[in-house]
Amino acid sequence: MDPTHLHQLAVEAMRARGLLPGFSPQALHEAESTREAVPERGGDIRDLRHLTWFSIDNDDTRDLDQLSVAEALPGGATRLLVAVADVDCLVKPGGAVDGHAAINTTSVYTAAGIFPMLPEVLSTDLTSLHESQERLAVVVDMRVAADGTVSESSIYRALVLNHAKLTYDSVSAWLNGDGPAPQHMASVPGLEQQIRVHDAVASKLRQWRQSRGALNVNTIAARPVFRDGQLVDLRPDEKNRAKDLIADLMIATNGATARFLVDKGFPSIRRFLQAPRRWDRIVALASSHGVDLPALPDALALDRFLSARRAADPAGFADLSLAVVKLLGSGEYAAAPAKSPASEGSLSGHFGLAINDYAHSTAPNRRFPDLVTQRLLKAALAGEAPPYSIGQLEEIARHCTLQEDNASKVERQVLKAAAAWLLDGRLGNVFDAVVTGAAAKGTFVRINSPLLEGRVVRGFEGLDVGDTLRVRLVAVDAEKSFIDFERA
């Protein structure tokens, strides 16, 4: 499929879902004018450029939102600092750029390319924490105890410098002993020790959450592969040790952010995931493996089951993980009023992460809730009134949940269009599949090669999420983004 044609499909899908595929001339002009702007540096801004900050991200990522640095302390504790790009210093509320971000609320990552929330002059340049570039940041400074609890934390503004842009694959391979040291290791003093301290503290943070029921799943996303400008495959983009490391650090940072706003008496936007509505199906899945789960949702029991299945059937664990994630459902945003601890709010908990305090804050270049949270943090640090009322935050939370769902639908639609093109000419082929959705709107399955989802149009009776079966390809249409199977 020609990339230009696929891109046009993505643009049309964005518009159909109420998302803006491009920036207005006013937004582009406003963003470009920030090249000459001098970010406001008033107030208490610490100079932390000397610390060995580094980033770990995908090879091709240009919108870098976080850096980190760590220090081992006596008694097994660790001081962990996470610096989040100060996007608010160049994206002011009420402007054209802010208006675009408030409508889309997220960057949209499609098989046809990225539709960024902010113009690239900002997100991949001026507000990105690029290597060797001085940047303003909001720093979350945490003390992680030997048992993995964040025993204390503080937040402040700082000037930082990224000393090494590392990649997930290279760091993970090195940590596992499967690859050479990342290229910056020899040139940046102390970097090797930094990575090892990070790996250790991330493990402690993860173990603490898992002791409370955080789910240890292994989901796989499809990554488009292009050759000479043509789409040739959809391959799995799997988790690895470095991705888990960063995820653990960001979860801790988001928790500290939420607690800070509570302590300051500020309202906030929280990310929550209710107990799964289809717990009965999760119980049935466990029963098919000889495990009895409680009748009511129990994260600890579910994680014990998942851990046992990971050990017993590593090859099949990704399919089981996918089924459980689908049954858990999607997270949502909600506004938390001032002076209301997360533990007292029915909407503030996150079942999958087993934490009560959770406010997205670590990706302001690509998620609007994070930018809103950053503005709340900076106002609290400056001793100012909250820049948003609880009513405004409630409306922002509802809209962000809606647009996140729309963005996911666009991503799936474009991916399915690409997948349909890849399957053209393979009608009648039979594939191993796992059921990923079963509802009134249809029954859907995922096959592994290429990695894609389609609808079962015949023989779907009695199928439910997590069932495995063989399906036969009966129809594809790239223009309409559909792939149809029948039970084989």
Show the 3-state SS of the chain.
CCHHHHHHHHHHHHHHCCCCCCCCHHHHHHHHHHHHCCCCCCCCEEECCCCCCEEEECCCCCCCCEEEEEEECHHHCEEEEEEEECCCCCCCCCCHHHHHHHHHCECEEECCEEECCCCHHHHHHHCCCCECCEEEEEEEEEEECCCCCEEEEEEEEEEEEECCEEEHHHHHHHHCCCCCCCCCCCCCCCHHHHHHHHHHHHHHHHHHHHHCCCCCCCCCEEEEEEECCEEEEEEEECCCHHHHHHHHHHHHHHHHHHHHHHHCCCCEEEEEECCCCCHHHHHHHHHHCCCCCCCCCCHHHHHHHHHHHHHHCCCCHHHHHHHHHHHHCCCEEEEECCCCCHHHCCCCCECCCCECCCCCCCCCCCEHHHHHHHHHHHHHHCCCCCCCCHHHHHHHHHHHHHHHHHHHHHHHHHHHHHHHHHHCCCCCCEEEEEEEEEECCEEEEEEECCEEEEEEEECCCCCCCCCEEEEEEEEEECCCCEEEEEEC
**pLDDT digits 0-9 by tens, 76-104:** 999 999 999 999 999 999 999 999 999 99
pLDDT value, residue 1: 59
Per-residue pLDDT averaged across 355-366, rounded?
Answer: 91
Of 243 and 344, the one with more pLDDT: 243
The residue extents of the domains of the chain are: 3-273+330-409, 424-488
pLDDT value, residue 346: 42
With bands split at pLDDT 50, 70 and 90, how would you rate the model's confidence at 439?
confident
Per-residue pLDDT averaged across 245-267, rounded?
Answer: 95
Q: CA-based angle 26:29:32, to the nearest 5?
A: 150
pLDDT value, residue 343: 41
- Tell me the average pLDDT of the chain: 91
pLDDT value, residue 229: 62
**pLDDT digits 0-9 by tens, 464-478:** 998 999 999 999 988
**pLDDT digits 0-9 by tens, 122-137:** 999 999 999 999 999 9
- Cis amide bond preceding 387, omega within 30: no
Residue 261: both structure tokens together: 């706003």
Per-residue pLDDT averaged across 325-344, rounded?
Answer: 77
pLDDT over 60 at 341, yes or no: no
**73-87, 115-129, 161-175, 341-355: least confidently modelled range:** 341-355
pLDDT over 60 at 247, yes or no: yes
Q: pTM for the full model?
A: 0.88
pLDDT value, residue 226: 67
Paired strand residues for 131: 162
| Crossing angle (nearest 10°) for helices 96-104 and 25-33 | 120
Question: What percentage of residues in the chain have a pLDDT greater than 70?
Answer: 95
pLDDT over 60 at 251, yes or no: yes
Of 22 and 219, the one with more pLDDT: 22
Per-residue pLDDT averaged across 257-277, rounded?
Answer: 91
- In words, the CATH class of domain 424-488 is mainly beta
pLDDT over 60 at 347, yes or no: no
Whose tokens are 């582009």? That residue is 28
Angstrom distance (rounded) from CA 411 to CA 408: 5
pLDDT value, residue 42: 67
With bands split at pLDDT 50, 70 and 90, how would you rate the model's confidence at 328?
confident
**29-33, 339-343, 445-449: least confidently modelled range:** 339-343
pLDDT over 50 at 345, yes or no: no
With bands split at pLDDT 50, 70 and 90, how would you rate the model's confidence at 338?
confident
Per-residue pLDDT averaged across 59-88, rounded?
Answer: 96
